[in-house]
Structure 1
């Protein structure tokens, strides 16, 4: 089977299942093969329900007896109940907030389930079980558990992947000398063993190969981008605009010493006849955006266009507001391009951009589309770079002719790691905060005492201030016991904030709804905003004085610091309360670090020691950074070797190496991931 084939070519996948996979970001055979298990269960012998004890995870062969009507609880949870028989005993299985599960079973159908036994009122029930393919159990001891979403069960994923693996041989795409040198297993074996491991050793070997593949490909891409930029790099030489002094005099505040130093470094880069390729690191609130505005202003005054790309619409609109405000006296044409614009509005922006009637374009990833054409692009700024990655950086570079690139991140990265991650970039650091920036008073309490936090929130609201409450999930998960936005909204609105306007905000909302809610929060119409981490990056509401973070133990410290940075932006004393399930010394230590320091660089270094980079960036499972398995800190030794061998491959004149390099690069140009194959 060709890995580029559509999902409909897989036996058993109909139109509805295909649509559900598409919503998961899975569109073809390769996408499905790269949907790796999130965990593994070493449970091979099925049990009867009568043999199981409370809190034991079991494998059980069952027959569907009855599908009950859903029940909605007082706190608005939906409980789906199905009655099964294991041939000896009838028992119930329950799913929480997964009403679609009842559509996955048919009366009298025989299946195999994997789930946790819970004792409830002297009755054994199976909690949130997943379907396991019966045929796979006898051939292996380790069962794969996949990330799921509505309409997609573990059984569907497992069965579909097994169908692919039965008819597909994945061609090797690394040089033989490289595989032999590091004793890597074949790519075909790695893909098979990560989905269907028969031993722990086989699973470890598969992960090692795939991590090497990711980090090698990433390093190759970074190094080739650097070579591409430096090769025949007749970049644009920008003089320092005569209006620069006037701009500095019109700024709302004096630049800090660190901001001034970084601006000088950028202006020196802009004067050179080679393209600038610079990373600016700065703590939350250090004034990176102002540095970017000054840099873009200089480019525009040289007769060129500038673009600023943000990771979220909320931040893009905030940038639009700030850029317009700072440059209001200079008659510049500033526009935004984002997903929430109407088709007519987008068309008009694109037409004006191509005609050179826009000086500064601000937007989201919509700017990466092929039909977005600039008349005379001179500079691209990307905000919060770890949300985009090297491939997007390459695509932006090609929007113009040897344009200057400025990358901004508020996540401090150690220089040794930055060398590998941003090998194509020079690094500037803004290591000073503007005077008057509020120190945020941070405390942590056990989550079973959360009422104290919400009573304190009421005090802040009565003083005329506003409150953020951040939760890690959108929908309630009974199994994980993580507080969700929707669940928290119902409880808090009724119990604490019934006299005030409370709204929820999360990434699944339409862009226009999100923007409307943020505008109302800025206008102080909303007193309490219950949100996911969508507010993590750059959101600026000076009247917000309190940040409460639910399940704080689920976040990396650097991400907690980012979230905390949403308050303390006005003149009022500001606070951050971390609600955590403090069961371990590690969790307590992490909370103490947050309580002790407001220094993002110190916090990031401590976070690196305790957790991996994927946790630090805060969305380990999402793959937004292009990595599926690799953790750039925990796997730093693999990263170093991969980087070293990528350099060797680029220098090699061997025919096989040239072929491999070309094949890999052709594949990753068409993919957002660093594991690609035939």
Structure 2
């Protein structure tokens, strides 16, 4: 076992369990935070600080806000036991103007250390009136402690491992911060006036001033974004190899002529861009981004038609069996007039059917293979794969794109996403892809009418649902949870199904779907709804992606404030797929102005790109990137939306570095290459 006190034995890859005071059990808790090695721990950055550098006198402390109050301890009371067995300790601090009443629960040790007449810094949330303030369970520090450590880091934490414990472990390592090495070339440090990596790591964990913390963050954000952009650039370079599927520029006129409707201008433009790429000397690497219902599948069908027409096979990867089956049906309908043979490959296939399908793919008898992750598995061999299409790109990691591409010799790649992202941000995030955008809806799509309402009107709403069902329509009802949350405020979907939906629609056929059902059970419920054997479907957000039921005309979203606007927009897109008037009801009892303004904004537009921009400006990127940022590596400190200036700079520098060293194999870029490998190794596939 290495001794962490002996610096010569420390490496960035030393397991965190060998750190003094950690051991195997605590190491398991660290692993929940993604911390396995000493390098991971040093790069587990604080999310904020408790700032003791600007204390308030008691009378001026803001009420209801976390702050620091500097006051003299005036009195201490003896401890007592309150109802429920909790021990209560009380003290009074203050100055010549006002007092601060202090209360601690089950913490006799803090008050024992305090001395009457001494001045202290109390950190917490202030309550009460102007002259008599209160603070419960404050953190207490002396002037000497504040002078030594003015800003206390607050870390992302987990059960059994709080921020203080993490900070103590980090403090042991800070003298060894040089272990990480500095991946940024000296020229970049000088150009952007950045501190060294070791200095930035020390200052992010134990800043002497707020300015030091800010400078450390600036350096570490730039480094992380540069590593991200280098990784994306390497992927693009890898994907832009000489194509293994050379073909002439196809004329899409025969495909358009086969349709019983006219494509939109946006669809025509996207297909032209794709066909131009596929006729080029390098493999296509393109993202097709379109709002809900914009017709991405039709564009993919045109591309697959062209690839098969040029003598190649096509593959389409979908995230669920349900969506794969739906795509297979749609593509078969669109491509059957050209004699194109479509095969379905999912994990649910029986052994005999799977063997037959695999043989057809291997022999080139299947022109187009539509499937789930099963397409990526061993034993799936294409005779001549020319075009790979990935639907719902955010459900797959960047590695899975490569795995599909490896099924052929540098095939063309088209990835599709129904989550709108503001264009300038999308160009930066998807640095390894060219982008086509579908910004028109096909004719005949009636915009969905959206309304906000409180839960008190639920009975009236269900009366409307009953009338819609009576007119032959179907409805979705979405709940945000399977089980009650810790606040007890969310009805679990099963309870809602039994006590609300079935009770208020007693004569209707109501189904239930949620993420804990087995895939076959989900498929059976969804098929019953698609076939019209269910009138209403109570569901969690598992119905968000790709489900197409033209007869569904109403979407009810309970606890709508729990979702980002982009998620609500995606759910709204499940209705309005036929010619009938369609509705989306956002049910929320949260009357906070910010919540109501967000929900009313969604009522004012059906433009997914406008929705995404609003979410970006008001709530940050999490609502439409999700925790895994659409299959990209998880970022430790950078924010793709808030840090656009360093993102632009990082993209420019990454392009310059890769222009001079396309594979990052020059000695001066070794540490950068290691960082890229480590970042993208952490980016597993999304589920």
TM-score by length of 2: 0.73
1:236 aligns with 2:245: yes
Partner of 2:682: 671
Is the 2:393–2:630 Cα contact (8 Å) retained in structure 1? Answer: no
Aligned residue among 504, 518, 526 for 2:526:
518
Is residue 530 from structure 1 mapped to residue 538 from structure 2 by the alignment? yes
Instruction: Map 1:455-494 onto structure 2 (within 5 A).
Output: 455-479=463-487, 481=489, 485-486=493-494, 488-489=496-497, 491-493=499-501
Name 1:332's counterpart in structure 2. Answer: 341
State the 1:35 CA deviation: 6.6
Which of the numbers 614, 625, 632 marks the counterpart of 2:632?
A: 625
Within the candidate set 565, 571, 576, 1:568 is matched to 576
Among 673, 678, 687, the alignment partner of 1:662 is 673
Matches within 5 A, 1:79-158: 85=87, 142=152, 144=154, 146=156, 148=158
> Aligned match of 1:224 in 234, 238, 243?
234
Partners of 2:19 and 2:538 lie apart in 1 by 41
User: In the alignment, does 2:292 pair up with 1:284?
Assistant: yes
Per the alignment, residue 541 of structure 1 pairs with: 549
Task: Choose 400-409 or 452-461, whichever is displaced more.
Answer: 452-461
Is 6-15 or 580-589 further displaced after alignment? 6-15
Q: Secondary structure at the match of 1:327?
A: helix
3-state DSSP of counterpart to 2:641: coil
Cα 1:597–1:507 change in 2 (3 A) is same
Residue 71 of structure 2: aligned partner: none
Within-5 A mapping of 1:272-421:
272-329=280-337, 330=339, 332-338=341-347, 353-365=361-373, 367-368=375-376, 373-388=381-396, 390-421=398-429
Cα 1:182–1:345 shift into 2, 3 Å: farther
Match of 2:449 in 1: 441
Select the residue among 192, 212, 222 that pairs with 1:182. Answer: 192
State the 1:250 CA deviation. 4.6
Please give the alpha-carbon distance, in whole angstroms, between the structure 2 residues aligned to 1:658 and 1:427: 29
1:334–1:11: structure 2 CA closer, same or farther, 3 Å change rule?
A: farther
How far, CA to CA, are the matches of 1:449 and 1:157 in structure 2? 48
Aligned to 2:118: none
Deviations 1:134-174 (A, max 9, x none): xx99978646363658x988788778877887988433322
1:172 match:
182
Does the C-alpha gap of structure 1 residues 344 and 196 become closer, same or farther in structure 2, counting only changes over 3 Å?
A: farther
Moved more, 292-301 or 370-379: 370-379
Within the candidate set 566, 587, 595, 2:603 is matched to: 595
- Give the superposition deviation at 1:356: 4.0
CA RMSD after TM alignment: 4.8
- Gap change, CA 1:30 and 1:400, over 3 Å in 2: farther
Task: Measure, in 2, the Cα distance between the counterparts of 1:35 and 1:484.
Answer: 34
Task: Please state how far the C-alpha of 1:37 moved relative to its aligned partner.
Answer: 6.5
Partners of 1:4 and 1:30 within 8 A in 2: yes
What does 1:609-620 correspond to in 2, within 5 Å?
609-615=617-623, 617=624, 619-620=626-627
Name the structure 2 match of 1:262.
Answer: 270
Aligned to 1:208: 218
Alpha-carbon distance in structure 1 between the residues aligned to 2:87 and 2:351: 54
**Deviation at 1:302?**
2.4
1:176-212 deviation line (CA, Å, top 9, x unaligned): 3323433445545666776777875565445434432
- Tell me the alpha carbon deviations over residues 356-403 of structure 1, each in whole angstroms, 9 at most, x when there is no partner: 454323334554557754332211112233444655444544442232
CA distance, structure 2, for counterparts of residue 613 and residue 293 of structure 1: 31
* SS of alignment partner, residue 307 of structure 1: strand
Counterpart residue number, 1:99: none
Which string of whole-angstrom CA distances, capped at 9 and with x for unpartnered residues, describes residues 54-99 of structure 1? 999999xxxxxxxxxxxxxxxxxxxxx9966568999799xxxxxx
Q: Distance in 2 between matches of 1:14 and 1:382?
A: 43
Residue 230 of structure 1: how far off its partner (Å): 4.1
Which has more radius of gyration? 2
Q: Which runs of 5+ in 2 are unaligned?
A: 1-9, 54-62, 69-82, 91-102, 108-122, 128-135, 138-144
Residue segments in structure 1 that go unaligned for 5+ positions in a row = 45-53, 60-80, 94-113, 119-125, 128-135
Counterpart-to-counterpart distance in 1, 2:214 and 2:447: 45
> How many residues are aligned here?
611
Alpha-carbon contact 1:559-1:618 (below 8 Å) kept: no
- The farther-off stretch of 18-27 and 482-491 is 18-27
TM-score (norm 1): 0.73
Q: Corresponding residue for 1:106?
A: none
